[in-house]
Amino acid sequence: MRLVSASLVGLLAATSTAHAADGDAKRGAQLYRACVACHSLEPGVHLSGPSLTGLWDKPAGKIAGFVRYSKGLKSADFAWNAETLFAWVADPQVMVPGTYMTFRGIEEDQQRADIVAFLKLAMAPGGDQRVVEQGLLPAAFVRGPRPQPLASAPDKARVTAIRHCGDSYFITTADGATTPFWEMNVRLKLDTRGTGPAPDKPVIAGAGMQGDRVSVIFSGVEEIKRFVEEKCSTVPGSP
Ligand code: HEC
């Protein structure tokens, strides 16, 4: 019985002209995968963008714990519903000029209707759990990434000293090795989440792209100041 009604709904959605009200939540869930790198549905867990949980029918740009809104979205005077989300996913820049949401938009009306149908479920109170229970989305996509805790990094990843000289960093790790890096290939990052490195134990990690780029991840700003030292070698002929 369930199957029959589900396919009937699908048929109706496909044959009628696309409108924000007649999308297919299942197809929408697939499209929503484009959003999960920047949004979780877990209450209070903000990534690059704010958690979307519970935002259905709520005013835009007003989550108290999210501090990185653009001026435009912060001062917006509308609520999230089928109409506003339909316009937002079409082109965020057109709806709120200067928004920080870098998403190029979904062109097709039917696809927009589908994602709005999904968001109506997902952004309702308790929607984060409901979309998992209904098999629309794996739990991992709802709660956002769970990075590996860095507190237990092995010796070769644990940074003990960072020297900068000329255009280079010389990074020493707990296994005793010192490795030179071109300064443009080193990113200094902070991770203040519970998954970050332990205090005073920054960690070096490959940053992808080409093999010569690395990130050094610190647990706080003060630590960066203490660890990174401008100093050239006293050994003649070496930097
Ligand atoms: C590259 C990262 C990124 C992607 C991808 C992305 N967003 Fe966003 N989103 C953001 C950021 C950043 C903001 C805050 C924008 C601002 O302040 O202007 C935002 C804001 C929002 C808001 C408003 C939240 C509020 O508090 O009012 C909604 C709704 C939203 N996004 C939905 C989506 C949906 C749905 C998708 C996928 C179709 C998506 N986003 C894809 C980064 C992203």
Q: What is the pLDDT of residues 67-96, one digit of tens each?
A: 999 999 999 999 999 999 999 999 999 999
Asked if the model's pLDDT at residue 7 lies above 50, the reply is: no
89 and 135 inside one domain: yes
Looking at the fold, whether 163 and 131 belong to one and the same domain comes out as no
pLDDT at 143: 87
pLDDT of residue 196: 85
Determine contact, residues 123/56, Cβ cutoff 8 Å. yes
78 and 52 together in one domain? yes
In a domain, 235, yes or no: no
Q: What is residue 11's predicted lDDT score, i.e. its pLDDT?
A: 41
Let me know whether 32 and 113 are in one domain.
yes
Task: Looking at the structure, tell me whether residues 195 and 217 fall in a common domain.
Answer: yes
Longest dimension (CA), the chain: 83
User: 124: closest CA among 91, 85, 92?
Assistant: 85
Secondary structure class of 233 (helix, strand, coil): coil
Give the model's pLDDT for residue 1: 43
User: Domains in the chain: how many in total?
Assistant: 2
pTM confidence score = 0.82
Distance 153 CA to ligand 1 centre (A): 33
Compute the Cα dihedral for 165, 169, 170, 171 and give only its sign. positive
Place of tokens 């912060």: 74
- Give the range of the structural domain holding residue 17, as residue numbers without chain letter: 2-143
**Closest ligand 1 atom number to CA of residue 37:** 5
Same domain? 97 vs 176: no
E strand or H helix at 27, and its extent? helix 25-32
Q: Which of 108, 143, 178 is at the close of a domain?
A: 143
Site to probe by mutation for ligand 1, drawn from 31, 35, 70 as the one with most ligand atoms within 8 Å of Cβ, is 35
**Quick one: tokens of 81?**
């519903």
The verdict on 20 and 62 lying in the same domain is: yes
Residue 111 pLDDT exceeds 90: yes
| Domain-terminating residue out of 121, 143, 165 | 143
Residue 149 lies in a domain: no
Q: State the pLDDT at residue 145.
A: 74
Do both 115 and 166 map to the same domain? Answer: no
Task: Give residue 16's pLDDT band: very low, low, confident or very high (50, 70, 90).
Answer: very low
